[in-house]
Structure 1
Amino acid sequence: MGRGADQLAYGVEDVIRGCDLGVHSVLVSDIGQLWVLCADDFGGVVRYYEIPALVRVAAPVHLKFTVRIAPSLYPSGAHLDDVAVVTARERVRRAAIGLSVLRRHYPKAKASPRPMTT
């Protein structure tokens, strides 16, 4: 693992140890520890199998699914409609895979409530 990945692993291990000792919540002060990316647009690896453990120890947590080397959609315009649709579909497909793994390996996980719409 690279230095950043090692630090993330150390932080997650500390949280797991705390939970094993009865800690019910954790205040994370390092934003790098707070963001858990299921992304490969920064050269990382898509590791769906880690999602259940990360959600268990870091909830509430935001998982981000992106598409590596996807073309930029900005500045936006009609000329990018097809690219935007294809990229959005791929993100939804990846999120569905992640949710499937989460439901299969950590069925007690619950999504945050959706905000009320007016």
Structure 2
Amino acid sequence: MHYYQTLQPQRLVITGAPGAGKTVLALELLLGLLETRGPEHPVPVRIPATLWDSSHPLREWLVQHLVTTYRQAPRTAQALVNAGLILPVIDGLDEETPRTPPTTPPAPQA
């Protein structure tokens, strides 16, 4: 956690082989940030990468995630994201399947 706090900007990607402990390390970082969090610091929120619809901008999707997962009012969620009070901890990027557009249009339905 100390290493993360010294980064400017505070961004971190955890890489490693399957089973190397990337999720455990991300959760330890998240818990450590929560333990030392002051009122001016963002709240770290774990988000499985498989839930992220990358066709939408991350900030827009983050607002929707707060609304659906944590039952925040849309206005409140938007205000929290706009104020930089949410720190997304995206986990499982290596589990994400690539999304490619179809090469042929779907067949007409009869």
Please indicate, yes or no, whether the TM-score normalized by the shorter chain is above 0.5. no
TM-score (norm: length of structure 1)? 0.30
Tell me which protein shows more helix as a share of its residues. Answer: 1
TM-score (norm: length of structure 2)? 0.32
